[in-house]
Amino acid sequence: MKDGALPYAGTPDTEPTALRIGVLGPMEVRERGESRTPSAPMARRALAVLLIHANRLVTTSALIEELWEDEPPRLARKTVQTYVYQLRRALQSASGPTNRLETCPNGYRINLLVDELDLWEFERRVTQARRALGKGDALNVVATLRSALALWRGDPFAGLEAGPVLAARITQISEARISALELRIEAELQLGRHRSLLGELRQLTAAHPVHEEFTAQLMRAAYRADQRSMALDAFSRLRRNLVEDLGIDPSERLQKLQWDVLNETLELDQPAVRAEPVVLTAPTGAAQPEPAPLSPAVPAPAATLAAHPVAAHRPPAQLPVDTADFTGRRAELARLEELAQPAAGARSAPRIVTVLGGAGAGKTALAVHAAHRLRELFPDGQLYARLHDDDDRPVRPACVLRALLRDLGHPVVDLPDDTEELGRIFRNWSAERRLLVLLDDATSADQVAPLLPGGPGSTVLVTSRVRLPGLPGAATVELGPMETDEAAELFASLAGRHRVGADSAVARQVVRLTGNLPLAVRAAGEKLAARPMWSVTDLAARLAEEDHRIAQLRTGSFDVLARLASACARLDQTAYEALTLLSAAGGEPFTIARAATLLGVDAWSAEMLVGQLLDHCVAEMWREGPDAVPLFRIPVLIRLSVPVHAPATAALHVLPGARERAVPAAAGTSA
């Protein structure tokens, strides 16, 4: 074999096949040891895209999108044809399929034999190792995986600029390497090679500072080598890195491992050999001497992943801290607790209770308070997930499921990317358990559905600013403004009852000026507590001025304006403009007919828009007017938080950038 040639896919010391393509490192194309790798960077990128779909059609449009994303050149198709011509010349003299690079209707296909791509060889050897593992042959597992890992020359497709599809596949291939490495180390631990692994594992934990499995392996190896301090130091480093980088604690599984090391209860004779790593690609359309690895679209079986040992020494307890001074909402709390009771009888699905209300209505506080009161009814634990991120964007269900399964002890590297597969694993784990699951700030039923546990013994509490049709059997507890007496009680508890004293009537006026909105009542109470020179009357006078009311309700962590602005920004552009126009008309209640006039649309369109605002809790039905005609209004603080971009008499039309202008304008208001 010539220097630099890729290793042969078959047995050692045999002549290499005519064509060998390497992607487990810098991409290389060699024919009998001679390099045929395209020199042009874009041609190499096109080849990489074809290789990750080897023996399958890649459409021209997919190639264009991968190479240039949203900014293709004017003659993109002609340019792709040029790259294909260059690649065809590089591959034309290799033996094997007559037409290596085949032109098909709407695209191209590269045809490879089973032993011509190093990635396939890697996967074949990993498959052999899994079979040896199933037979309990740890020595064969180690030898086979060492030979598989020896095929790697660096990061996959190193040096190539990757588009979105190639970047995702590179991540998957890299994870497969990590998974194979974990499996090899587990097999060596099973063989008792604890001391010899310590150096390698210390290097791996340094290179992967938030990777839990390598830390777990180092802890077990160190413990079995009578190095308890090393094991505990490894856990401490992992915890510090997770907190600093991700803001999370180690999983339940790692915490149990630390507890076992501290108490010297770790079992030495039962190392936990991990399940098979995920296999990413498979050659298609070529004869193979043995069954092919799994397709890239097929993640590891849910049953295999669900069989991973999940830390069960104590149930998960993820609920946020309860509100110590929770006040009011007596009727809603009683209703929520009644609906959330564990199912009895012939139910076959979990209970679902939605807590619906606008921004600042206290949905999360109520749900968390109720969950803490109910937790004893759910002995298998309580799970919590926030469904919007810090930038107020909805979190994908797959991300939520991966986080939950990680916390429950499933190694992240073995979890699939597919939402349905992740949901299947979660449902399998939860099917026989009695769990209380709190999903905070949901955006749609489609976001919630994959997160539901699998058995009838669980209850799911969902908070949302928008109605969630499409959740079968879900009950709803709606939160409007607080009762004035309850709001005044909350205000006094925050401001100090001695500050309110005999001014209870003025305190009631203060909370009415906040619209009886719990967030605003809390902000007003905190503001008065922070201004010892003010009386309740002084605060009421400042809140009475509509132009300054929102600014007065910003104090500490209670930014009423930001919260309300975010609720408005979640509307689509037409609904946002409708809210702007209705708010600009003042605080008077309106009928559908009046809304149609203000918006400049017909009555049917006005009814649809007002309904959308009601669904998002930025409008409310006030009462019935004469002749039982319903009257609606925009809550006072919503109205005051919406920047006015158009007069109330303007006809409704899409204002480009209306939503984008709203948030900066709101954020610019000073406290």
| DSSP one-letter string for 546-571 | HHHHHHHTEETTEEHHHHHHHHHHTS
Instruction: Decide if 467 contacts 442 (C-beta within 8 A).
Output: no
pLDDT for 4-63, tens place per residue? 334 433 333 344 457 889 999 999 988 877 888 888 888 888 999 999 888 888 888 888
Lowest mean pLDDT among 169-183, 306-320, 363-377: 306-320
Q: Residue 138: in which H helix or E strand, if any? A: helix 138-149
Task: Please compute the mean of the pLDDT values over residues 168-191 and round it to a whole number.
Answer: 90
Task: Please compute the mean of the pLDDT values over residues 347-363 and round it to a whole number.
Answer: 87
d(CA 323, CA 305): 37
d(CA 547, CA 155): 59
d(CA 531, CA 528): 5
Q: What is the pLDDT of residue 652?
A: 52
Q: What is the pLDDT of residue 543?
A: 86
Give start and end residues of each alpha helix (H) in 225-283.
228-246, 252-262
In the chain, the amino acid numbered 445 is A
Strand-strand pairing, 620-624 and 630-633: antiparallel
Lowest mean pLDDT among 60-64, 214-218, 311-315, 583-587: 311-315
Residues in the chain: 671
State the burial class of residue 246 (Cβ atoms within 10 Å of its Cβ: 0-12, 13-18, 19+).
exposed
- Tracing tokens 């209505």 back to the chain, one arrives at 361
d(CA 523, CA 567): 18
pTM of this prediction?
0.53
pLDDT for 660-669, tens place per residue? 333 333 333 3
In the chain, the amino acid numbered 545 is E
Q: Is the pLDDT of residue 441 over 70?
A: yes
- What does the buried/exposed string (b/e) look like for 455-494 if buried means 16 or more CB atoms within 10 Å of the residue's CB? bbbbbbbbbbbbbbeebeebebbebbbbeeebbbbbbbbb
Q: What is the pLDDT of residue 387?
A: 92
Task: Please compute the mean of the pLDDT values over residues 111-126 and round it to a whole number.
Answer: 89
Q: State the angle between helix axes of 484-495 and 504-513 in degrees (0 to 180), rounded to the nearest 10.
A: 110
pLDDT for 548-581, tens place per residue? 787 788 766 667 777 888 888 888 888 888 888 8
Instruction: Decide if 622 contacts 632 (C-beta within 8 A).
Output: yes
* Token code pair at residue 161: 């600029």
d(CA 543, CA 652): 32
* Token code pair at residue 131: 């079979």
Instruction: Decide if 607 contacts 626 (C-beta within 8 A).
Output: no
Instruction: Decide if 385 contacts 402 (C-beta within 8 A).
Output: no
pLDDT for 590-624, tens place per residue? 889 999 999 889 989 899 999 989 988 888 887 76
Q: What is the pLDDT of residue 300?
A: 38
Task: Please compute the mean of the pLDDT values over residues 279-302 and round it to a whole number.
Answer: 38
Count the Cβ atoms, other than its own, within 10 Å of residue 329.
Answer: 23
Nearest by Cα to 51 from 277, 300, 281: 281
Nearest by Cα to 295 from 46, 56, 112: 56
Q: Percent of the chain at pLDDT above 90?
A: 21
Angle (CA) 534-539-540 rounded to 5° is: 140
d(CA 418, CA 299): 8
Q: Is the pLDDT of residue 278 over 50?
A: no
- List C-alpha distances in Å: 447 to 302, 429, 460, 515: 21, 20, 13, 31
pLDDT for 80-107, tens place per residue? 888 888 888 877 754 555 578 888 888 8
Contacts of 622 (CB under 8 A, 6+ apart): 589, 631, 632, 633
d(CA 623, CA 638): 18
Q: What is the pLDDT of residue 475?
A: 92
State the burial class of residue 638 (Cβ atoms within 10 Å of its Cβ: 0-12, 13-18, 19+).
buried
Instruction: Decide if 577 contacts 562 (C-beta within 8 A).
Output: no
- At 161, is the secondary structure helix, strand, or coil? coil
Instruction: Decide if 51 contacts 91 (C-beta within 8 A).
Output: no
Beta bridge partners of 459: 351, 436
Q: Is the pLDDT of residue 270 over 70?
A: no
Nearest by Cα to 639 from 595, 575, 598, 584: 584
* Token code pair at residue 606: 């006005």
**Cα dihedral 327→329→334→339 (10° resolution):** -120
Rg (CA), the chain: 31
User: Using the 8-state DSSP alphabet, how is residue 631 labeled?
Assistant: E
Q: Percent of the chain at pLDDT above 70?
A: 83
Instruction: Select the more confidently predicted residue: 291 or 538.
Output: 538
Cα end-to-end span (Å), the chain: 75
